[in-house]
Amino acid sequence: MTTIIEVSDDLQTVLQLVTQRVDVGSNWRATGFIGEGINAPVLKVARDAFDPRYVFGQSKAEHTFTVTAYVNRSAGESGERDLAALCELSGNGSVIARIQTGANWSVTVDHAQVVNVGKVEPVEVGGAEYLALPFQVKVVW
């Protein structure tokens, strides 16, 4: 059976396809771990909480991951446009389209779906200010 870390790593690879296609440039990157700092613009993957009683008792696993896009707050309007480009429902720069296209996944997953796109919010990490946009992704394997 596919593992959580394999899915997380593959989600990072799928997101790398997005970062290579975003209309605003190729300086985006994706990372599969939260890490200590943010080197924006970046897409970070984190696994959400889950109840193991509903995972290990079944033949299928279902996990939700949060993919958060960060841009420097100092980027202003262009940073917000960069985040908006990720929210398109289709196209090469769409986080949603890339995640939900099964052919982009190299590990075996039954389906992957973006179930929520959050709002853009200012956040502070290590004294630096960013704009953050979360995507909740449900993956079943």
- Per-residue pLDDT of the chain (141 residues), as tens digits, is 789 999 999 999 999 877 665 554 557 888 877 676 788 999 999 999 987 766 655 678 889 999 999 999 998 898 999 899 999 999 888 899 999 999 999 999 999 999 999 999 999 988 999 999 999 999 998
Dihedral of CA atoms 7, 11, 44, 27 in degrees, nearest 10, equals: 150
**Domains, the chain:** 4-140 (3.30.70)
Maximal C-alpha separation, the chain? 48
Angstrom CA distances, 133 to 5, 78, 85, 118, stand at: 23, 14, 11, 6
The pLDDT score that the predictor gives to residue 105 is 95
Beta strands 128-140 and 111-117, pairing class: antiparallel
- φ and ψ at residue 57, rounded to 5 degrees: -85, 0
Return the closest-CA partner of residue 68 out of 41, 100, 102, 89: 41
For 61, residues 6+ apart whose C-beta sits below 8 A from its C-beta are: 1, 2, 4, 55, 140, 141
Tokens of 115: 């179930």
The pLDDT score that the predictor gives to residue 70 is 95
